[in-house]
Copies of this chain bind each other. A is one copy, B any other.
Amino acid sequence: MPSYSARLSAAIRRTGNPVCVGLDPRWNNLPAEIRERSTAAGGSLWEQKARGFEEFSRRIIEVVKGLVPVVKPQAAFFEECGPAGMAALWRVMRHARQAGLLVICDAKRGDIGSTAEAYAQAYLGDDGDGPGQGGVDALTINPYLGADTLQPFVDAAVRYERGLYVLVRTSNPGAGTLQDICDASQTKIYQHVARLVEQLASSTRGTDPYGCVGGVVGATYPAELLELRQAMPHTPLLIPGYGSQGAKAADVAAGFGPDGVGAVVNSSRAIIFAHEKKEYAAKYSPERWEEAVRAATHDMIRELAPYCQPGTAQA
C-alpha cells in the first residue's frame, strides 16, 4: 500500500479538489425520514440513534464518493451512543473506504506509553481480525502530553501506512488559551507544536513531498494558517472551520502549498445538513435532502477552485 500522504495526494488530484466532508451526525438535524425509520425499528433510544447515524452517514458517503477525496467521521457523536454507536462508526468507516474515500477518524486521542500504543493499535492497526482493520486512513491526536506520547502513534502510522493529524491551532474561539502563550523568545505554544510536527513529518516522508504526520490548523485563523503552511513545508494540513464556523475560501487559500495538495479543508454541517439551509431548502424539498448535500458539496468545490488547482501542479 502506498503511504498515507501518497494516497491522499493521489485522491486530491483524482477528484481535483481538497474537500473533506465531516460526518458529524446529530439526531435533531437528521432528515425526518431517517429519524422515523430508526425509531420505528426499536431498541433503546441510543440504539435508535446509532441506527439513524449509520444510515445517514452511509447515504452521505454514497452522495460524495467520487466527488471528494476524503471524509472525516467525528467519533464523539457515535461514542455518545455507546457500544452500538461505536459499532456503527466502524461500519461507516469501512463503507467509506470501500466506496473509494479516504477516512480521517476525528477522535483527538492522546495518552502515555502503552496506553497510547493501545489507541494507536485501535485506530491504525491492521493485524488480525480486529475492529480497526482497514477502517481508518488517518487519526487526529492531541499533543499536550508531550513528544514521547506522540511516538507510539507515529510508529503505528509508519508500520501500517496510515496518517496522523496532530492538533496545532484549533478553530474554536478560545483556541488561544494555551496555544497562543508565548515563551521568552516570543515563540507561541502552537509554534512549538508546529516545529515538532514538521520534524515528524519530515522524518517520515521518505521520497514523498509530505510525511505521514499532519497538523490540524483552523481555517478561522487565516494569518496563522499562512505562517504555519510556511513553517511546515512537509506537513499535510487538515483545515477545519470552513462553512458553519465562518471561514471562507479566501481564508484557506494559504493552506494548499505550491503543489496544491498540501491540505484538505473540512466542512461538516454546511454540507451534511444543507437541507436545513434556506438557499438549498428553497430548491430541494425535504425528501430530496441528498440532492441538497450534493449541491452544497459542488458549491464548496467551486468556491475553493480559484485557490487550489491540484490537478495541474503535478508534472
Contacts and interface: CB of A to CB of B under 8 A. Distances in A.
A174 B149 contact: yes
Given A83-B86, A122-B76, A130 B192 contact: no
A228 to B, nearest CB: 16
Interface in A67-92: 74, 76-77, 79-87, 90
Contact of A189 (B81, B125, B178): B178
A105 to B, nearest CB: 12
Interface in A126-176: 128-132, 142-149, 167, 170-176
A98 interface: no
Contact of A74 (B79, B87, B115, B147): B115
Contacts of A144: 142-144, 167, 170, 178-179
A119 interface: yes
A142 B176 contact: no
A82 B130 contact: yes
B128 A45 contact: yes
A1 to B, nearest CB: 21
A111 B131 CA distance: 23
A110 B121 CA distance: 20
Query: Copies of this chain, how many?
Result: 2
B189 A181 contact: yes
A177 interface: yes
Contacts of A85: 131
A82 B46 contact: no
A184 B149 CA distance: 27
Contact of A172 (B113, B175, B184): B113
A169 to B, nearest CB: 10
Contacts of A183: 181-184
B128 A148 contact: no
Contacts of A115: 24, 74, 76-77
A193 interface: yes
A135 B149 CA distance: 28
26 contacts: A24-B115, A44-B129, A74-B115, A74-B118, A79-B122, A82-B87, A83-B84, A84-B131, A86-B86, A108-B110, A108-B145, A110-B142, A112-B171, A112-B172, A144-B179, A145-B167, A145-B174, A146-B170, A147-B174, A148-B173, A148-B174, A148-B177, A178-B192, A181-B181, A182-B184, A189-B189
Given A80-B119, A82-B87, A178-B189, 13 more contacts: A76-B111, A76-B118, A80-B122, A82-B122, A83-B90, A86-B86, A108-B145, A144-B178, A145-B167, A146-B172, A146-B175, A146-B176, A184-B184
Interface of A: 24, 26, 44-46, 74, 76-77, 79-87, 90, 108-116, 118-119, 121-122, 125, 128-132, 142-149, 167, 170-179, 181-184, 189, 192-193, 196
